[in-house]
């Protein structure tokens, strides 16, 4: 049962629970009209202390498409955080207005603090450079739709693997599926954090490789997961400027890839995927954004414990 639970880390959901969310998302995609009123009378609060387009709006679209309503704020400056209010106090207040809350915060662990002080389900919409579990639900639903299953593939994850929270959550979640090979492509300075390498990849005996050149592995990949260099997490501008264009996926590189490789990206993109790729049938990132709304519809239903009548 997912009713009443929080989603802070991708490992909060078992593989079976994930599958139940994906099955519900499949049904919603098939018959959206049947779900148009299931959350009537329910309120979702989106508390976003950091910029967002897809995560916040897909949460809001999800709740509205389920017949519920939304309220919230989209920057710390427009909330009482600007006056010095703690996340705990904000959460205790929100909980008396809304039925469920999605929170994004620049500080690692803030949504967890909120969850510990909340009688309503709290969903982590991204906490600093740490985790982003609903982006992972989006990524998994996309991969499952494109490949028909979540096992037996080689995934290249490229870009800012150090600060990219979507990468950390994706590796954690995929560590439980069979026969996945991880090829981690980044500059030396942006390699995955030690806790992901040691606690997830090595501890579970997963097959992985860390390299710098995308060209060297392009022909091996079934999925290429590109990421943006996370400007807002850098301590100095010079390092960001030096690293920001480390990878640019263009037609030349795509010509080395398998005909059925899929390109994913959590978005927003900056320069790391050339727009000339957008019309390539292997570019799946805008489709992926759409799956993000459907999977959030399914997640909201599960955490609220509402069902189709
Ligand atoms: C990501 C995020 O916020 O971590 N975006 C998203 O939620 N789709 C990725 C990013 O900002 O680069």
**Residue 309 clears pLDDT 90, i.e. is over it:** no
Contacting residues for 290 by C-beta, under 8 A, at least 6 apart:
none
Mean local confidence (pLDDT), 167-171 = 98
Say if ligand 1 is within 6 A of residue 244 CB.
no
How many other C-beta atoms are found inside a 10 Å radius of the C-beta of residue 10? 26
Q: Which pLDDT score is estimated for 143?
A: 98
Which residue carries 């950390």 as its tokens? 168
Ligand 1, atom nearest to 138 Cα: 8
Mean local confidence (pLDDT), 66-81 = 94
Ligand 1, atom nearest to 230 Cα: 12
Distance 267 CA to ligand 1 centre (A): 6
Say if ligand 1 is within 6 A of residue 283 CB.
no
Mean local confidence (pLDDT), 136-144 = 98
Picking from 69, 64, 70, 91, the residue whose alpha carbon sits closest to that of residue 80 is 91
Distance 308 CA to ligand 1 centre (A): 31
Q: Left (φ > 0), alpha (ψ -120 to 50) or beta: where does 4 sit? A: left
HEC assignment per residue over 265-303: CCCCCCCCECHHHCCCCCECHHHHHHHHHHHHHHHHHHH
Say if ligand 1 is within 6 A of residue 168 CB.
no
Domains assigned to the chain: 10-131+292-304 (3.40.50.1370), 133-289 (3.40.50.1370)
Q: Which pLDDT score is estimated for 176?
A: 98
Contacting residues for 17 by C-beta, under 8 A, at least 6 apart:
2
How many other C-beta atoms are found inside a 10 Å radius of the C-beta of residue 89? 13
Distance 41 CA to ligand 1 centre (A): 30
Say if ligand 1 is within 6 A of residue 228 CB.
yes
Ligand 1, atom nearest to 164 Cα: 4
192-229: pLDDT as tens digits: 999 999 999 999 999 999 999 999 999 999 999 999 99
Rg (C-alpha) for the chain, rounded Å, is: 19
Contacting residues for 245 by C-beta, under 8 A, at least 6 apart:
271, 272
Distance 268 CA to ligand 1 centre (A): 6
Quote the CA–CA distance of 146 and 136 in Å, as a whole number.
15
Ligand 1, atom nearest to 125 Cα: 7
Q: Which pLDDT score is estimated for 183?
A: 98
Mean local confidence (pLDDT), 151-160 = 98
Sign of CA dihedral 150, 152, 155, 161: positive
Distance 266 CA to ligand 1 centre (A): 6
pTM exceeds cut of 0.95: yes
Residues marked as catalytic: 54-55, 83, 104, 132
How many other C-beta atoms are found inside a 10 Å radius of the C-beta of residue 282? 16
Distance 201 CA to ligand 1 centre (A): 23
Q: pLDDT band at residue 78, thresholds of 50, 70 and 90?
A: confident
16-41: pLDDT as tens digits: 999 999 999 999 999 999 999 999 99
Ligand 1, atom nearest to 267 Cα: 8
Say if ligand 1 is within 6 A of residue 58 CB.
no
Say if ligand 1 is within 6 A of residue 131 CB.
no
CB 91 within 8 A of CB 122: yes
């Amino acid at each position: 049962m997912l009713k009443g639970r929080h989603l802070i880390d991708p490992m909060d959901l078992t593989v079976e629970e994930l599958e139940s969310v994906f099955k519900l998302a499949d049904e919603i995609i098939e018959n959206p009209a049947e779900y148009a009123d299931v959350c009537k009378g329910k309120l979702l609060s989106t508390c976003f202390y950091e910029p967002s387009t897809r995560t916040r709006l897909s949460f809001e679209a999800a709740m509205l498409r389920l017949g519920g309503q939304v309220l919230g704020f989209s920057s710390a400056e427009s909330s009482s955080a600007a006056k010095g209010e703690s996340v705990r106090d904000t959460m205790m207040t929100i909980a008396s207005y809304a039925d469920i809350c999605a929170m994004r915060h620049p500080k690692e662990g803030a949504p967890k603090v909120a969850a510990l002080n909340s009688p309503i389900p709290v969903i982590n919409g991204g906490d600093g450079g740490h985790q982003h579990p609903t982006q992972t639900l989006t990524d998994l639903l996309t991969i499952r739709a494109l490949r028909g299953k979540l096992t037996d593939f080689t995934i290249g994850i490229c870009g800012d693997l150090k600060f990219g929270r979507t990468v950390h959550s994706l590796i954690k979640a995929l560590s439980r599926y069979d026969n996945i090979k991880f090829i981690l492509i980044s500059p030396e300075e942006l390699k995955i954090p030690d806790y992901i390498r040691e606690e997830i990849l090595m501890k579970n005996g997963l097959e992985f490789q860390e390299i710098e050149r995308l060209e060297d592995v392009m022909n091996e990949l079934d999925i290429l997961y590109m990421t943006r260099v996370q400007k807002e997490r850098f301590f100095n501008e010079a390092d960001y400027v030096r690293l920001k264009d480390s990878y640019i996926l263009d037609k030349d590189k795509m010509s080395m890839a398998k005909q059925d490789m899929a390109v994913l990206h959590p978005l927003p993109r900056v320069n790391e995927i050339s727009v000339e790729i957008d019309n390539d049938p292997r570019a799946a990132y805008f489709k992926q954004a759409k799956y993000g709304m459907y999977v959030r519809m399914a997640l909201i239903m599960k955490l609220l414990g509402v069902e189709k009548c």
